[in-house]
Amino acid sequence: MRVLVSHCDHRPFEVERFGAAWARAGGEEGELVFVTPSTVAGPAPPQAVFDGLLLTSGPDVEPWRFGAEPEPGVELHLDPPRDALDLALLRRAALDSWPVLAVCYGCQLLAVSAGGTVIQDLERAGRAGHRVPEPKDHLAHDVIVTGEARFLAPAGGRFAVNSRHHQGVGVPGDGMAAVASAPDGVIEAIEPETGDRFVLGVQWHPENLSQQVHVALFRSFRSACLQRAGGRG
């Protein structure tokens, strides 16, 4: 089994972070294939076979990709090659039926790929308290999971998460649904409304957390990837 993991060229530390999270969930060395906009042609040519896609965090999504102009006064940290790479990988995942786990920026881009939108700055939108950068494992607030959640467990439950983002999903996109939110209403997780393929976007950073509810998220994703690999071969 091989799972593609996308990250920014300037964020090499994601390899260690997500590798550690994968190991906590029972993952084996060599199952993750890390790619960036500048390296993807080597390990992930179009003919290569993979069994899942993991989108890590990083930049802000270019506003034009969800039909907006940059809001005056909002500092954006853009990485156009990363947007292009991850959107292409999401299209490939849909065509090849790969399970998908998308974290933070990845969650926002997952929504945009389905025609959704991004809130460009949560504080300006009256939703403060979502940007707590340090320590990485600080539990900033709860998330409340809807009973309709299929891939995010526990459905109908509530648990604490870390939080270090200034943007968030505005509209989840066509065929996507919000399945978890913060107490202030900020969307914290999205899933497809229908279908059996594991596709989940989460706004927090489970790669930095060791509580079982967060480890189980990676474990569920890995199980879906293993099932995909088994069915393929």
Report the catalytic residues.
104, 205, 207
Q: What angle do CA 13, 17, 21 make, to 5 degrees?
A: 165
Q: What angle do CA 104, 175, 110 make, to 5 degrees?
A: 20
CA distance 81 to 200: 23
Query: Which two tokens mark 123?
Result: 């504080």
The DSSP letter of residue 212 is H
Query: Which two tokens mark 229?
Result: 């690999």
CA distance 74 to 59: 14
Does an H or E element contain 20, and which?
A: helix 14-24
Classify residue 197 as exposed, middle or buried by CB count within 10 Å of its CB (0-12, 13-18, 19+).
middle
Give the orientation angle of helix 105-113 with respect to helix 80-96, to 10 degrees: 60
Sign for the CA dihedral angle at 152, 131, 69, 185 comes to: positive
